[in-house]
């Protein structure tokens, strides 16, 4: 049973919370899209084809509307002219017929849009569900050295922000890009069908708009970037101050914190004002250019109408198409940025899923049911990195039921040793055997079931105290939970709580003390009833009185079990069957407490220096 560290949300890529910058690019967009299709989208290909068909249909039915409406405008204009001339009037039946056609087209377009929207939502939600499920399964298959290399915030960002980014972007961007491209093509076709010259005049506006847009974006981009950077600093400061409120107050740093926040807030205001000004400046400029285009089209259209080349309604239709034409172009640019961010998010997710998993190499694993706990370390050599060896040449024999204490200075390799025993890492050379079997001959999961581990850093989850103790054995009865709590000397405390064993721990589990947390984790191990115990600084968070209370219970628990105690307080391991003194990855001394003290060597120096500190 493994203990994990307590919860604190780290910062992910792009600052606090793991937000990604706009327009973030993937390293291999084509490769990522190919993997995405093969792993996830392939099973939805027919649904995606249906989405494409309905998106195209919705766009076509919308595009033909203005041209049909132009016919109504032409009929009204001709009818008014006839009425003035006294030779006729407006054909309202014809106009009613056109209106009914338009209503029908727009209803069909809305229905097509609704259907493709529902299908895309269904696909995107199922994809994000499957990705989250795959990531959740993957994270439990990864070796410990993966978590040594990866930043916690980065992993959390992949599990949360990247999945959300993909789900939202995929749902919106696919239909938007199809609609935008179809709209551009459709409008161009309709504009050319009305008048070629007027279409070319409209198209001349595009390069002018693009040039001005590029200039404005180039100027504003640095301000937007500065705004995001400063916002990250502000968020980071707020997060740190909120989490460290006790320290801030203890050192009377409120004024300093406020002053620093004020400076960052002023920088954020300045960058935000400039970025918003430049962003707001873009729309009036683009509207001005577009209006010039409308004026040019109206003048040329009027001229062609007088010559009889086009109808009055065609001018109205053309201006409407011209007004719509620039919208999908801007939409495509925006969607492409969104797609880049989406692909970058997917790339990180897929890279995570392709990480090398922790696998069992043995074909015929040893049966672990009869394990007793005779352990032998033979010339063990290990380093987290090949160029930095932590344990150089470790040799030791541990008999079934012995209580082994491992002591030494910080960084000597004490905790690393027990991690190797549980096969969190594989050795560089040498081997470790249990009852004569190399630990590589066991399935990792089966092997770890026989270990109970209590770490210095406690981990409890938001839930009842009973559920936290039962984490090691979900099928345990209430009586067994109570007995485990009594053995850990935490039962009396639990009974004083309002809900007893059903009392809820909050999300941060800070409504109980550090010592009480440690006692609960010890009760959890006691309930698991393992053959081999590992206590890694298990009493470091407990006060002296509590330590005395649990020491007798721990001694009883360790009877008949092989136990490894990594101790900082050397006074707690006086009754160990054997003490292994480690320094620089090697055993420098071994023996019982009295023997080692009598030698006056490294252990005696450690013990006496600690005793002197306690005396002071």
- Residue of 338, 340, 346 whose CA lies nearest to 36: 346
CA distances from 475 to 453, 470, 495, 529 (A): 19, 8, 22, 13
> Which pair of structure tokens corresponds to residue 428?
């560089």
Residue 148: CB atoms within 10 Å:
10
391-398 and 375-382: which strand pairing? Answer: antiparallel
CA distances from 535 to 189, 344, 384 (A): 76, 43, 22
Predicted confidence at residue 17, as pLDDT, reads 41
Whole-angstrom distance, CA of residue 195 vs CA of residue 190: 9
Whole-angstrom distance, CA of residue 137 vs CA of residue 414: 31
Query: 366-450+532-616 and 454-529 share one CATH topology?
Result: yes
- Cα 5-9-13 angle, rounded to 5 deg: 120
**Given strand 375-382, what is the order of strands in its sheet?**
391-398, 375-382, 429-434, 437-438
Whole-angstrom distance, CA of residue 513 vs CA of residue 244: 17
Predicted confidence at residue 426, as pLDDT, reads 83
Whole-angstrom distance, CA of residue 457 vs CA of residue 4: 7
Whole-angstrom distance, CA of residue 500 vs CA of residue 466: 9
Q: Do 503 and 465 meet the contact criterion of CB atoms below 8 Å apart?
A: yes
Query: What does the DSSP assignment read for 577-595?
Result: SEEEEEETTEEEEEE-HHH
CATH among 3.40.50.1820, 1.20.1250.30, 3.30.420.40, 3.40.50.300 for 366-450+532-616: 3.40.50.300
Q: Do 442 and 368 meet the contact criterion of CB atoms below 8 Å apart?
A: yes
Handedness of CA 56, 58, 64, 70 (dihedral sign): negative
Whole-angstrom distance, CA of residue 239 vs CA of residue 261: 12
Q: Do 335 and 352 meet the contact criterion of CB atoms below 8 Å apart?
A: no
Chain segment 348-362, per-residue pLDDT in tens: 888 888 888 777 666
- Residue of 120, 112, 139, 134 whose CA lies nearest to 57: 112
145-150, long-range: CB within 8 Å, 24+ apart, which pairs? Answer: 145/384, 145/425, 146/355, 146/356, 148/384
Contacts of 309 (CB under 8 A, 6+ apart): 195
All residue ranges of the chain with pLDDT < 70 are 1-26, 151, 153, 209-210, 213, 216-221, 224-225, 228, 232, 278-283, 286, 330, 360-364, 368, 411-412, 507-509, 537-554, 556-557, 569, 571-572, 585, 610-616
Say whether domain 21-195+327-357 belongs to CATH 1.20.1560.10.
yes
Alpha helix ranges (H) inside 158-253? 163-194, 196-243, 245-250
E-strand stretches of 435-540? 437-438, 451-454, 463-464, 504-505, 532-536
CA distances from 436 to 5, 116, 382, 587 (A): 33, 64, 21, 22
- Residue of 125, 112, 102, 130 whose CA lies nearest to 178: 112
Dihedral angle of Cα 49, 54, 59, 61, to the nearest 10 degrees: 140
Contacts of 110 (CB under 8 A, 6+ apart): 58
With 0-12 CB in 10 A as exposed, 13-18 as middle and 19+ as buried, what is 255? exposed
With 0-12 CB in 10 A as exposed, 13-18 as middle and 19+ as buried, what is 160? middle
Handedness of CA 528, 534, 539, 545 (dihedral sign): positive
The position carrying tokens 């034409």 is 325
Percentages helix, strand, coil for the chain, rounded to the nearest 5? 65, 10, 25
Domain locations along the chain: 21-195+327-357, 196-309, 366-450+532-616, 454-529
Predicted confidence at residue 10, as pLDDT, reads 38
Whole-angstrom distance, CA of residue 104 vs CA of residue 532: 76
Whole-angstrom distance, CA of residue 278 vs CA of residue 282: 7
Side-chain-facing half-sphere of 1: CA atoms under 13 Å: 27
Secondary structure element (H or E) that encloses residue 263, with its range? helix 254-306
The position carrying tokens 């050397």 is 570
Alpha helix ranges (H) inside 307-355? 312-353
Taking phi over 0 as left and psi of -120 to 50 as alpha, with beta for the rest, 379 belongs to left
With 0-12 CB in 10 A as exposed, 13-18 as middle and 19+ as buried, what is 458? buried
Predicted confidence at residue 12, as pLDDT, reads 41
Residue 289: CB atoms within 10 Å:
17
463-464 and 504-505: which strand pairing? Answer: antiparallel
With 0-12 CB in 10 A as exposed, 13-18 as middle and 19+ as buried, what is 259? exposed
- Residue of 428, 409, 423 whose CA lies nearest to 375: 423
Q: Which CATH architecture has domain 454-529?
A: 3-Layer(aba) Sandwich (3.40)
Whole-angstrom distance, CA of residue 5 vs CA of residue 403: 26
Q: Do 558 and 550 meet the contact criterion of CB atoms below 8 Å apart?
A: no
């Amino acid at each position: 049973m493994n203990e994990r560290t307590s919860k604190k949300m780290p910062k992910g890529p792009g600052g606090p919370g793991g937000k990604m910058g706009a327009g973030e690019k993937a390293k291999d967009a084509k490769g990522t899209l190919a993997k995405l299709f093969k792993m996830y989208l392939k099973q939805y290909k027919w649904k995606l084809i249906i989405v494409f068909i309905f998106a195209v249909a919705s766009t076509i039915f919308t595009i033909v509307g203005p041209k049909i409406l132009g016919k109504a405008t032409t009929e009204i204009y001709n009818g008014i002219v006839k009425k003035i001339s006294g030779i006729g009037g407006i054909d309202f039946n014809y106009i009613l017929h056109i209106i009914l056609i338009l209503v029908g087209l727009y209803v069909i377009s809305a229905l097509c849009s609704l259907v493709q929207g529902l299908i895309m939502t269904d696909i995107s939600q199922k994809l994000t569900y499957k990705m989250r499920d795959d990531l959740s399964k993957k994270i439990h298959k990864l070796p410990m050295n993966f978590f040594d290399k990866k930043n916690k915030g980065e992993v959390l960002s992949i599990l949360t922000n990247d999945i959300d980014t993909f789900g939202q972007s995929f749902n919106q961007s696919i239909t938007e890009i199809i609609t935008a491209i179809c709209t551009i093509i459709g409008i161009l076709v309709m504009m050319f069908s009305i008048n070629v010259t007027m279409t070319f005049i409209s198209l001349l506006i595009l390069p002018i708009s693009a040039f001005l847009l590029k200039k404005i974006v180039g100027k504003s981009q640095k301000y937007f970037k500065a705004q995001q950077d400063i916002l990250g600093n502000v968020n980071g400061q707020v997060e740190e101050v909120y989490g460290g409120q006790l320290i801030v107050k203890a050192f009377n740093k409120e004024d300093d914190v406020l002053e620093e926040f004020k400076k960052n807030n002023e920088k954020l205001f300045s960058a935000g004002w400039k970025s918003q000004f430049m962003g707001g400046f873009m729309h009036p400029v683009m509207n001005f250019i577009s209006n010039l285009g409308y004026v040019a089209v109206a003048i040329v259209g009027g001229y062609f109408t007088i010559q009889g080349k086009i109808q009055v309604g065609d001018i109205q239709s053309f201006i409407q198409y011209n007004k719509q034409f620039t919208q999908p172009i801007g939409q495509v640019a925006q969607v492409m940025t969104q797609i880049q961010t989406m692909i970058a998010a997917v790339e990180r997710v897929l890279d995570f899923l392709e990480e090398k998993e922790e696998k069992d190499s043995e074909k015929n694993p040893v049966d672990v049911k009869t394990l007793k706990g005779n352990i032998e370390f033979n010339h063990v050599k290990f380093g987290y990195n090949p160029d930095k060896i932590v344990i150089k040449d470790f040799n030791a024999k541990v008999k079934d039921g012995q209580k082994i204490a491992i002591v030494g200075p910080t960084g000597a390799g004490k905790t690393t040793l027990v991690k190797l025993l549980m096969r969190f890492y594989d050795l560089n050379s040498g081997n470790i055997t249990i009852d004569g079997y190399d630990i590589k001959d066991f399935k990792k999961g089966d092997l770890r079931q026989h270990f109970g581990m209590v770490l210095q850093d406690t981990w409890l989850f938001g839930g009842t105290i009973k559920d936290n103790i039962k984490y090691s054995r979900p099928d345990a009865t209430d009586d067994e939970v109570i007995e485990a709590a009594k053995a850990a000397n935490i039962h009396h405390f639990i009974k004083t709580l309002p809900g007893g064993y059903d009392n809820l721990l909050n999300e941060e589990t800070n409504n109980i003390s550090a010592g009480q947390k440690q006692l609960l984790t010890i009760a959890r191990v006691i309930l698991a009833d393992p053959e081999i115990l590992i206590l890694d600084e298990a009493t470091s968070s407990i006060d002296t009185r509590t330590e005395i209370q649990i020491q007798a219970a721990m001694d009883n628990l360790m009877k008949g079990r092989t136990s490894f105690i990594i101790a900082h307080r050397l006074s707690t391991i006086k009754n160990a069957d054997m003490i292994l003194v480690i320094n620089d990855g090697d055993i420098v001394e071994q023996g019982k407490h009295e023997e080692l003290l009598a030698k006056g060597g490294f252990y005696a120096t450690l013990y006496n220096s600690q005793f002197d500190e306690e005396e002071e």
